[in-house]
Amino acid sequence: MQIAVPKEIKNHEYRVALTPAGVRELIAHGHDVIVERGAGEGSGFSDAEYQGVGARLESDVEQVFREAELILKVKEPQPAEVARLTSGQTLFTYLHLAAARELTESLLDSGVTAIAYETITDTAGGLPLLAPMSRVAGRMAIQAGAHALEKAQGGMGVLLPGVPGVPPARVTVIGGGVVGENAARMALGLGAEVVILDTSLNRLETLDHRYQGQIRTVYSTSEALDEAVRHSALIIGAVLVPGAAAPKLIRREHLRNMMPGAVLVDVAIDQGGCFETSRATTHAEPTYLVDGVVHYCVANMPGAVARTSTQALTSATLPYVVKLANGGYRKVLREDRHFAAGLNVHAGQLTIAEVGAAFGMPVISLEDALAKG
């Protein structure tokens, strides 16, 4: 199979879809891999490293896309990239379509087969290709939030762990999944007072046992959210509804009850955000103020630690890429229902119910979709 790895072009996106080691593995399976020149530089991988394992380097991005049967990316395709996609190609990347109607419509118009990392499932009910970036984003959320709390950044000027004689700041994490746990773990390590809100008692019990009571676990209700808003210096939004838009849990009216200079970090921004006042930002301009509250809503947080993120991503995606390249999407999607959960768009048809519900678009079954093209 002809596999293409283009350079990411989203604002301040430095990751790349495959490490040289990943490329080497695909070539060992008999596939041809085209890598756009400079694709790995942001992650610390040189063109020479890709060439050394057998990749073909190509400077012309149009040629990279034109020759590809399977296109591997990290972030959702930007408008210039969507324009290069054609029927008969397979795109494998993060998509987050439930917050992106225009992108959804463009992919439908292109005729491409689009498989999303973030909606592939596993036998345990997890999201194995979303998990590695969720771990990175959760840990980064605390770093970003701690920085945003500094007075020079518009924050209230507090140090998360405090110092002897000065109590630590409270960090509230909304959502106890992969992002939430990793954020809480980082905050705990820094010495903050940490609270996790979640609606799953089983999950709260697991976290309470795992951290031996060092993290306060609270069942999420409107009253619990109100209390968090009043007393937290930093709130991390870590809510995920797989494939769907995130619910808006903190409303505009909540902000008036927050401490001036408090910080909201919305890790759910890829899915539309879980704060009503969230809007996507970039690493170039990561924060903004609403009613005296700092908002950090960078949509590609892991891109800032590109080498770590690329290595983690390749480790997770490579077995799936090999399977897809070896068997072709039709065989793989028909035989593996967990992989099939990743199919979002095929031959002009939408195949993911959550996105259809978000935009009022018709959705067809996997079987019907594969029978069409």
**Nearest CA-CA partner of 235 in 273, 196, 270, 272:** 196
Q: Which of 96, 254, 295, 346 is catalytic?
A: 96
Q: Is 60 a catalytic residue?
A: no
Catalytic residue among 31, 270, 295, 346: 270
N-term to C-term CA, the chain: 19
Instruction: Give the 3-state DSSP-derived string for the chain, with helices as H, strands as E and coil as C.
Output: CEEEECCCCCCCCCCCCCCHHHHHHHHHCCCEEEEECCCCHHHCCCHHHHHHCCCEEECCHHHHHHHCCEEECCCCCCHHHHCCCCCCCEEEECCCHHHCHHHHHHHHHHCCEEEEHHHCCCCCCCCCCCHHHHHHHHHHHHHHHHHHCCHHHCCCCCCCCCECCECCCEEEEECCCHHHHHHHHHHHHHCCEEEEEECCHHHHHHHHHHCCCCCEEEECCHHHHHHHHHHCCEEEECCCCCCCCCCCCECHHHHHHCCCCCEEEEHHHHHCCCECCCCCECCCCCEEEECCEEEECECCHHHHHHHHHHHHHHHHHHHHHHHHHHHCHHHHHHHCHHHHCCEEEECCEECCHHHHHHHCCCCCCHHHHHHHC
Q: Could you give the residue numbers annotated as active site? A: 96, 270
